[in-house]
Amino acid sequence: MAALLGRSCRRFGFLSSGHGARSVSTETGKSLNLYSAINQALHIALDSDPRSYVFGEDVGFGGVFRCTTGLAERFGKNRVFNTPLCEQGIVGFGIGLAAMGNRAIVEIQFADYIYPAFDQIVNEAAKFRYRSGNQFNCGGLTIRAPYGAVGHGGHYHSQSPEAFFCHVPGIKVVIPRSPREAKGLLLSSIRDPNPVVFFEPKWLYRQAVEEVPEHDYMIPLSEAEVIREGNDITLVGWGAQLTIMEQACLDAEKEGISCELIDLKTLLPWDKETVEASVKKTGRLLISHEAPITGGFGAEISATILERCFLKLEAPVSRVCGLDTPFPLVFEPFYMPTKNKILDAIKSTVNY
């Protein structure tokens, strides 16, 4: 499916990592795309901890998106390997390894195929520590999975399943927006003492290129970042969708609307304070994600901000999201929360 990305995308540009990433040094690195940045993070993770492992379907030859290229050659087949085609097996095996004090960095080939592992993630990984009174934990587990639309993935190569996992106390959910962010957030996720589900925007694997520091650095989890400052409305998003939102911000600016854009980065547990502070300043909030609107993570953000900022809000919270349908192949351009839908929503929220 790697060629999914080879074809031209209707969307263009991408949102580079801003200045705000605290642990990223000012040292400039090489220009890297997102899959290469992930690859670099995995090299560092395996190199810096001899008890770390990388495995999943087809990772041995580099993975269908090339994220694991060169790892098996460098670190050997005992630490980097193909698994049988079984997601529940991959995650369960990872939990076992992690429970023994190792770092298990597992790949689910597509987020759309994470569901066979749902039980292992929700009932096992997430509750391992709690149910044992902290006698056991599987904090060394990190589950990587490419997610999101690419233009022609249809039902099963396009989904954004983050909301399911945001409903599960005990795991963290992280989604990077760019190569530099991906590297730093992935290293933090791998080293975080809790199981983490790490969704990678596959649309950006090749598309997004920026300078990525070569050294080992981490970007803190559960810290959102204001990637664009503004006064009239706060926009909150994550992953690939931020690119679209940024374009809407630029267009809105031309019409005299000043937008503040926040990258949530970690969806669980999420940084309410940063969003709250921004909304208290702007008085308006718009959330956008590709996943269907109903029960999406936007609903959680909306409810929280209503609780915290009720008297400061000058308009209802707006959500521009995927439709409540399965992900449709030929109708994808209609399904998507496009720049124009966002721009319309910005205007009607500001003019409420």
Specify whether the CB–CB gap between 18 and 180 falls below 8 A: no
Contact with another protein (CB under 8 A) among 84, 133, 310, 351: 84
Question: Does residue 89 belong to the site contacting another protein (CB under 8 A)?
Answer: yes
From the list 275, 56, 238, 226, the residue with the least C-alpha distance to 163 is 238
Q: Which does 256 bind (CB under 5 to 8 A by kind): ligand TPP, another protein, none?
A: none
Residue 283 DSSP label: S
Which amino acid type is present at position 242?
A: L
Residues that bind ligand TPP (CB under 6 A): 57, 85, 87, 109, 113, 116
Number of CB atoms found within 10 A of residue 76's CB = 11
User: Which residue, 3 or 311, is less far from ligand TPP as judged by CB?
Assistant: 3
Contact with another protein (CB under 8 A) among 76, 169, 193, 326: 326
Question: Does residue 338 belong to the site contacting another protein (CB under 8 A)?
Answer: yes
Residue 169 DSSP label: T
Backbone angles phi, psi at 91, to 5 degrees: -70, -40
Annotated catalytic residue, options 107, 157, 200, 246:
157
Sign of the CA dihedral running 275, 218, 83, 93: negative
- Beta carbon of residue 86, minimum distance to ligand TPP (angstroms, whole number): 8
Specify whether the CB–CB gap between 287 and 275 falls below 8 A: no
CA distance 81 to 189: 20
Contact with another protein (CB under 8 A) among 83, 178, 234, 247: 83
The yes-or-no answer on residue 260 being catalytic is no
The yes-or-no answer on residue 19 being catalytic is no
- Beta carbon of residue 296, minimum distance to another protein (angstroms, whole number): 13
- The continuous run of DSSP H or E covering 183 comes out as helix 179-191
Q: Which residue is nearest to ligand TPP (CB)?
A: 113
Pair of tokens at residue 99: 């429970």
* Among 40-48, 231-239, 251-259, 331-339, the segment contacting another protein (CB under 8 A): 331-339
Question: Does residue 294 belong to the site contacting another protein (CB under 8 A)?
Answer: yes
Q: Which does 328 bind (CB under 5 to 8 A by kind): another protein, ligand TPP, none?
A: another protein
> Which residues are the active-site residues?
87, 157
